[in-house]
Structure 1
């Protein structure tokens, strides 16, 4: 519940800021200096109405209203509708609902303005069908809504920090970064795939990763990539060690799955159990590709994280962490750690310390 509330408020402030800014820009570009345009006469009763301060106030009020309503619609679609519909159909349906909401907001706004300034503005049923100005505004809002949706998709794909860095070309040349990586893998995936068969198994993995996505923002995490039944999660180093995010996310994911245990048992007859390995350090980040551009990380940190995760089966534990990363964390009393010794990971020449972590 707290996670959903946090996600909603994050979406809410982004939506309010975006729509307030968008409508202020439209007001400036469309109406500022309107009285000076050739062939346009502004009567005295409208001069006060289109003053810059009034336009700014009205734009902020409408932006606030649309931002709140659109954020609520977006959140509803994220949590309920998007899983059931294709991206294109979801966007089409969402924008159609937003169009209706926008007309209602403008009708209420013009009614209030008409009452305050004593101006006869027609807001009867269907008024917007004959008003060319409102169609221009609606078209602008529709385009802006698509822009907002695609920016949001890009941020979800790369993470907010990474997206804006890519936007300014920060990764055009390889860049050294400190990051933490977690390799999260489904336990007994081969036998589960054989039992469920490929179609139902794919749905099973979809549901698991849907639950993972429900909690990643709570722990400041980014999904780097999905590889079959494995998810690779990443953090900038400071965000990963803050509040033990790189540990807490694993147990948060377990709790999320546990909350939907009856769903998994009823639909699949199987409850998913995951194992994870986590490690951090310095590696190289670079923008790669032209046809399918993406951010790639290169370095020993990724290989070590993946191989630590493979050791889970060997030691019969669900969660392993490197000693070097554990030393950077302050593990609170809710977790207990156990030193499992030094291991020589495949492909490595130097042994590393590994520890298991469990709920205390």
Structure 2
């Protein structure tokens, strides 16, 4: 399956499920037991169990449609617009689209249920302007959107599944995990920084990491941290092995930069090259910090990955991988591996066998 399609479908089902649930909850809060409230007179067709069920079905339908539309808008903006617009304009356009589409969804659903249940619902032009129930619902949607955005940002910050584990306190005590790490570093960074100057060099790194962020989700990678001109990527062990994700990401990033080579040449006079070191194994993960909480990984896997990457210049290659990790991978036909020898990495007692991988 096309990776963009896979990303879209994953975003789609999450959005539809989330909005269907929250709108169903809203209908229960809004209409359940309405006929029993003291001082209220409710028309029979809107009251009782039947009225609650109708509201539940109606608002759940609205939630499903909203989830579909919002996910489509978000995917389109993330793929084609986000890097081209300032954040303020991005938010303004998205908000406008959300609002207009929400009015359309409400109009369609209200007309549909008016016909089925013979309800007297006003859906004429501009019906929403003076409709207090609509604005109450919009306020609820806005508040829930903040919650959804918070969950999304936290998930992106800590990685898929990690945020929930943090909420449940799993990493309060160190836990053992098997993971793959990639240290991705800009080649000839010192020379480039001297030639560009600190301001333009910062823009250069920003552009590089924008391109990297477009590639990362397609290969189920997590960005552990940025350190200057270096990015540290991570995968749960099985996810990194699946479909050669940990290898294919590097070459996808290379292709992404090459496809924008003219842009980099015009703006900076150079096309960036990155070198990478890959290694995997068992290490410890724990929550650290009080004022600023983070997930930290401790163990030989990280140190070895970093030192393997440092060997790239010595061997004049862009990608190095430990033999231990390579044995667990099923190298695709479009790739070939070359054994470069055994090296004694700084700080280690035993030599590590390293290989380079190239596209055929």
Q: How does 1:110-121 map to 2 (within 5 A)?
A: 110-121=110-121
Partner of 1:246: 246
CA distance in 1 between counterparts of 2:29 and 2:107 reads 22
CA distance in 1 between counterparts of 2:88 and 2:296 reads 27
Partner of 2:235: 235
CA distance in 2 between counterparts of 1:210 and 1:299 reads 29
CA distance in 1 between counterparts of 2:91 and 2:149 reads 8
CA distance in 1 between counterparts of 2:5 and 2:272 reads 26
Say if 2:340 and 2:354, in contact at 8 Å, map to a contact too. Answer: yes
Compare 191-200 and 290-299 and name the one that shifted more: 191-200
Q: How far does the alpha carbon of each residue in 1:47-98 deviate from its partner, in whole angstroms, 9 at most, with x for none?
A: 4895343223212211111011111222233234433556566445533432
CA distance in 2 between counterparts of 1:122 and 1:55 reads 16
Say if 1:99 and 1:142, in contact at 8 Å, map to a contact too. Answer: no
CA RMSD of aligned residues (A): 2.0
Partner of 1:349: 349
SS at match of 1:171: helix
CA gap 1:337/1:312 in 2 versus in 1, 3 angstroms: same
Say if 2:34 and 2:47, in contact at 8 Å, map to a contact too. Answer: no
Q: How far does the alpha carbon of each residue in 1:19-42 deviate from its partner, in whole angstroms, 9 at most, with x for none?
A: 001101111122111111112222
Say if 1:221 and 1:233, in contact at 8 Å, map to a contact too. Answer: yes
Compare 124-133 and 69-78 and name the one that shifted more: 124-133
CA distance in 2 between counterparts of 1:78 and 1:50 reads 42
CA distance in 2 between counterparts of 1:276 and 1:318 reads 6
Q: How does 1:1-360 map to 2 (within 5 A)?
A: 2-47=2-47, 51-84=51-84, 90-91=90-91, 93-360=93-360
CA gap 1:327/1:298 in 2 versus in 1, 3 angstroms: same
CA distance in 1 between counterparts of 2:140 and 2:29 reads 12
Structure 2 gap ranges (5+): none
Say if 1:3 and 1:215, in contact at 8 Å, map to a contact too. Answer: no
SS at match of 1:277: strand
Q: Structure 1 residue 99: deviation in Å?
A: 2.4
What is the TM-score normalised by the length of structure 1?
0.94
Compare 136-145 and 84-93 and name the one that shifted more: 84-93
Say if 2:287 and 2:295, in contact at 8 Å, map to a contact too. Answer: yes
SS at match of 1:124: coil
CA gap 1:101/1:53 in 2 versus in 1, 3 angstroms: same
CA distance in 2 between counterparts of 1:331 and 1:147 reads 42
CA distance in 2 between counterparts of 1:221 and 1:331 reads 18
Say if 1:49 and 1:117, in contact at 8 Å, map to a contact too. Answer: no
Say if 2:31 and 2:51, in contact at 8 Å, map to a contact too. Answer: no
CA distance in 1 between counterparts of 2:149 and 2:6 reads 19
Structure 1 gap ranges (5+): none
SS at match of 1:35: helix
Compare 16-25 and 46-55 and name the one that shifted more: 46-55
Q: How far does the alpha carbon of each residue in 1:219-242 deviate from its partner, in whole angstroms, 9 at most, with x for none?
A: 111110111111100011111112
Say if 2:82 and 2:90, in contact at 8 Å, map to a contact too. Answer: yes
Aligned length: 360
CA gap 1:117/1:50 in 2 versus in 1, 3 angstroms: same
